[in-house]
Amino acid sequence: MSSIRKITLLLVLSISLILCFLGSSVFYFLSNYSYADFYKRLELRASVAEKRHFESNQRDAQVLKNIREEHLELLSDEKEYIFYCPNVSAIKQVSDTNSLPIELLNLVYNRGFANYQKDDIFYFGRKRETPNGFYFIIISAKNYYNTHHLILLKKVLLVGGFIFILIIIYLTNLFSKRFFDPIDKIITKVNTISTENIHLRLDEVKNSVEIKRLTTTFNNLLNRIEIAFETNKNFISNASHEFGTPLTAIIGEADVALLKDRTPSEYKEALQKILKQSERLNKISQSLLFLAQIGYKDNKFNYAVLRTDELILQANEIMNQLIPKNNIKIDFELLPENPKKLKIMGNKELLILAITNIITNACKYSSNKPVIVSLASTNNDIVIIVKDQGIGIPESELPFICDPFFRASNTAAYDGYGIGLPLTQNIIKIHKGELVISSLLQKGVTVQVKLPIAKF
């Protein structure tokens, strides 16, 4: 049985039981009330009849009769009985003569008054004692409310309950479909995602907060898996290539040095070449390992509230040490007036590393031309903009610029390993940000880092 049918059946059964309980309770209490109220009406009429016959003169009797007719409506099949009974043995004769239930008369005689029902006739009787015997004052009538209104109420409750259950079935089915259909679509979409199309993401559902949270959670998970998978794949596919060149150079230089005896200066020159290639190999391995670490341990870094203007200034200090004669210009003219719009939640060391990587590339590929670093904000994001006047990136190569080890075709004259931007992109992704790169060939590159403003 599907989840929709199970939920529909469960809700229908639950609501049916509740409706049955409520309907039965309403009918029970109204029925009891109708009986008690009708007997009160009969009792009132019996009291008026007793006063009219035994406790008033002719004038008062007429007044009571008028009040009775004006203010007490005639009940259905209402009958009034007042008869004398000299002793107990005469009760049977009175019962037969007036066609009254003998049980009613016995109850009235023993208790002084009594309520009684036979079939659809309701009775109220009162006994009045006299020195020579006693009188019975009996009022009988049909309970129209009980015989008609309660039957109508029963029908209304049954029909209304049935219609309500049908509405509940429809609404439950509609709700279940609206709730479970998106989940079925999510399951179908997730089943189509594999290593070949791991870039695919689930479509967000706007009209359901819970489903939106579910899709967002799945997409965040897929982002982390993609980073880890791509890092692992790139490490395996590119490490051998990048390690191959320096290792070949080291092995070749060592083989040449060992072919015959060399002078100390020749050995020194060979060792210097080996050292240079070893340092290059060390940098590549460290960069690759750090890139892999960022991909797999995104949730293990210590986060704190940071000011982005301070991060830029600290990155600038590092650049002054790395490139003392740099031409970096810090532009804070677009700083927001509200200091809260400068704050983000992140890891200080990683973000400084990402900003430093971007500025380093800007300085390197612009041959020390001015590099403008500016800061701005929107309602939701803080934007760090780094703009240079360098060689730019060919438009056709922009989609691959953040792939590990990829280097643009016009960068052959510049040292580098193609790891800085991939590392930067992973750091920005970890902080739920976005890296946007645009370029015009021979006119420079503009890099935008968008980071969400910290929520307080």
Number of domains in the chain: 3
Q: Which residue has the higher pLDDT, 285 or 358?
A: 358
Do residues 262 and 328 share a domain?
A: no
Sheet containing 76-85, strands listed edge to edge, beginning at the edge strand earlier in sequence:
76-85, 133-142, 121-130, 113-118
Query: Which residue, of 296, 315, 334, is where some domain finishes?
Result: 296
AA letter at 136: F
Highest mean pLDDT among 7-21, 168-182, 250-264, 377-391: 377-391
Residue 423 pLDDT exceeds 50: yes
**Per-residue pLDDT tens for 286-319?**
766 666 666 544 455 678 999 999 999 999 998 8
According to the model, what pLDDT value does residue 449 have?
A: 94
**Token pair belonging to 213:** 């949270």
Residue 93 pLDDT exceeds 80: yes
Do residues 332 and 418 share a domain?
A: yes
- CA distances for 290 relative to 15, 319, 346, 353, 451, angstroms: 59, 21, 18, 12, 22
In which residue are the tokens 């900003």 written?
Answer: 355
According to the model, what pLDDT value does residue 243 have?
A: 66
Do residues 15 and 142 share a domain?
A: yes
Give the DSSP per-residue string, 229-269. Answer: HHHHHHHHHHHHHHHHHHHHHHHHHHHHHHSS---HHHHHH
Q: Which residue has the higher pLDDT, 299 or 171?
A: 171
Distance from C-alpha of 426 to C-alpha of 353, rounded to nearest angstrom:
11
- CA distances for 16 relative to 4, 155, 380, angstroms: 18, 16, 49
Q: Is residue 417 part of a domain?
A: yes
According to the model, what pLDDT value does residue 8 have?
A: 67
According to the model, what pLDDT value does residue 61 have?
A: 58
Do residues 258 and 309 share a domain?
A: no
pLDDT, the chain, mean: 80
| pLDDT classification of 152: cutoffs 50, 70, 90 | confident
Do residues 99 and 21 share a domain?
A: yes
Q: Are 113 and 124 in contact (CB under 8 A)?
A: yes
Q: Is residue 184 part of a domain?
A: no
Do residues 331 and 276 share a domain?
A: no
Do residues 448 and 409 share a domain?
A: yes
Determine the average pLDDT of the residues in 242-263.
78
Q: Is residue 416 part of a domain?
A: yes
Determine the average pLDDT of the residues in 115-134.
86
Determine the average pLDDT of the residues in 163-181.
76
According to the model, what pLDDT value does residue 298 have?
A: 47
**Per-residue pLDDT tens for 1-46?**
456 567 667 777 777 788 778 777 777 777 777 778 788 888 888 8
Q: Is residue 210 part of a domain?
A: no
Query: Which residue, of 89, 116, 148, is where some domain finishes?
Result: 148
Q: Are 168 and 23 in contact (CB under 8 A)?
A: no
Determine the average pLDDT of the residues in 107-122.
87
Do residues 280 and 317 share a domain?
A: no
Q: Is residue 159 part of a domain?
A: no
According to the model, what pLDDT value does residue 132 have?
A: 81
According to the model, what pLDDT value does residue 201 have?
A: 81
Residue 64 pLDDT exceeds 60: no
Structural domain range at position 64: 3-148
According to the model, what pLDDT value does residue 375 have?
A: 93
Q: Is residue 89 part of a domain?
A: yes
**Token pair belonging to 261:** 């005896």
Query: Which residue, of 107, 128, 148, is where some domain finishes?
Result: 148
Do residues 400 and 290 share a domain?
A: no
Residue 448 pLDDT exceeds 90: yes
Distance from C-alpha of 416 to C-alpha of 423, rounded to nearest angstrom:
13
Candidates 60, 97, 57; CA nearest to 81 is 97
Do residues 290 and 329 share a domain?
A: no
Question: What's the CATH code of the domain at 360?
Answer: 3.30.565.10
pLDDT more than 90, % of the chain: 15
- Answer left, alpha or beta for residue 204, where phi above 0 means left and psi between -120 and 50 means alpha: beta
Question: What's the CATH code of the domain at 255?
Answer: 1.10.287
Q: Is residue 155 part of a domain?
A: no
| pLDDT classification of 272: cutoffs 50, 70, 90 | confident
Do residues 447 and 414 share a domain?
A: yes
pLDDT more than 70, % of the chain: 84
Do residues 117 and 236 share a domain?
A: no
- For the entire predicted model, the pTM comes to 0.47
Q: Is residue 204 part of a domain?
A: no
